[in-house]
């Protein structure tokens, strides 16, 4: 195999199913050696009794690629450290980290208990932070040793993290946090040769099949717009050396569409030059809102 990731070593978390599996296979098809991470849990994070990482690694090997499975919990310090260590010890290096692992505990806010909040924040947000931390430490050491990395990180957010989603307060908060983490990482790690970007995908997976049930038209001319494989080409490119100069950016990917998302920027502004009274502040705010673009609709509202 050869392609735009020929020779690169790529770690993909949550790679046993859905988007992660599609990414792992796509990287392997472009010549990467892949560490396939998956804990094998159920949709809500409960123990699943399966080991899908082994199956995906075997699938890559059967296609002539190189892959190794990793079944550790990347939302723990030791699991995340073990993940990065597996790449370096098995293949001698690490070039790209794709963080994708996650599950859902959907509830309306008044029914969302603390445990379900903590569990989703842990797997999505902490599960992005810890692999990033250990990968960044490796790349910093490489840079200081004079071996300048051409390193890439691709994080996974969601439209829920950009606009919000009714019944998914925990998930939306975690996915919004991933965007903030990405922006900081892009700024902090640039000096070490690391680029960090985030993709907000829309695809049919275990996590979205209920949301899409009955709403998706049949594939046109053989093209399934909601197939997770449609998202992977952008992720693979962002994870390749060819994406040089692209960092700190947020993309949406769905079907054949790629969108650069433009986040918070200063809009209409009023400056009195001194302190407002509450009534004055309210009047100014209403005037500014008439000149501002309306926010995007919250999913499910």
Q: Is residue 122 part of a domain?
A: yes
Using the predicted structure, report yes or no on whether residue 54 has a pLDDT greater than 60: yes
Which residue of the set 175, 192, 240, 243 is catalytic?
175
**Known active-site residue 299:** no
Q: Is residue 285 part of a domain?
A: no
Q: Is residue 50 part of a domain?
A: yes
Round the average pLDDT of the chain to a whole number and report it: 92
Whichever domain contains 81, its CATH number is 3.40.50.720
Q: Is residue 298 part of a domain?
A: no
Q: Is residue 283 part of a domain?
A: no
DSSP string, 134-158: HHHHHHHHHHHTT----EEEEEE--
- Domain interval for residue 106: 9-261
In the chain, how many domains are there?
Answer: 1
Which residue of the set 99, 171, 192, 232 is catalytic?
171
CA distance 14 to 106: 19
Q: Alpha-carbon torsion 169, 41, 73, 10, what sign?
A: negative
Q: Is residue 54 part of a domain?
A: yes
**Known active-site residue 158:** yes
- Give the tens place of pLDDT for each residue, 207-243: 554 544 444 444 556 778 889 999 999 999 999 999 9
Q: Is this structure's pTM higher than 0.75? A: yes
Which residue of the set 82, 158, 172, 232 is catalytic?
158
- Record the tokens describing residue 280, joined without a space: 């004055």
**Known active-site residue 2:** no
Q: Give the pLDDT of residue 204.
A: 79
Q: Is residue 162 part of a domain?
A: yes
């Amino acid at each position: 195999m050869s392609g735009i990731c020929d020779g690169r070593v790529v770690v993909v978390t949550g790679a046993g199913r859905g988007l992660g599996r599609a990414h792992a296979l796509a990287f392997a098809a472009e010549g990467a050696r892949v560490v396939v991470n998956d804990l094998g849990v159920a949709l809500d994070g409960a123990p699943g009794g399966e080991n899908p990482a082994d199956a995906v690694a075997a699938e890559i090997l059967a296609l002539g690629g190189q892959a190794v499975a990793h079944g550790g919990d990347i939302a723990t310090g030791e699991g995340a450290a073990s993940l990065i260590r597996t790449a370096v010890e098995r293949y001698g290096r690490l070039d790209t980290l794709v963080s994708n692992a996650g599950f859902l505990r959907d509830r309306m806010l008044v029914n969302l208990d603390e445990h379900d909040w903590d569990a989703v924040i842990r797997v999505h947000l902490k599960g992005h932070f810890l692999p990033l931390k250990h990968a960044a430490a490796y790349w910093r050491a490489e840079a200081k040793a004079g071996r300048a990395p051409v390193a890439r990180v691709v994080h996974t957010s969601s439209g829920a993290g950009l606009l919000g989603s009714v019944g998914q307060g925990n998930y939306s908060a975690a996915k919004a946090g991933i965007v903030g983490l990405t922006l900081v990482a892009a700024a902090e790690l640039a000096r070490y040769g690391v680029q960090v970007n985030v993709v907000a995908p829309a695809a049919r997976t275990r996590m979205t099949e209920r949301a899409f049930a009955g709403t998706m038209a049949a594939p046109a001319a053989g093209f399934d717009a909601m197939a997770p494989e449609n998202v992977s080409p952008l992720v693979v490119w962002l994870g390749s050396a060819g994406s040089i100069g692209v960092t700190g950016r947020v993309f949406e990917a769905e079907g054949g569409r790629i969108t650069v998302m433009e986040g918070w920027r200063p809009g209409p502004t009023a400056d009195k030059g001194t302190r407002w009274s509450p009534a004055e502040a309210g009047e100014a705010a209403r005037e500014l809102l008439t000149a501002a673009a309306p926010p995007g609709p919250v999913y499910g509202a």
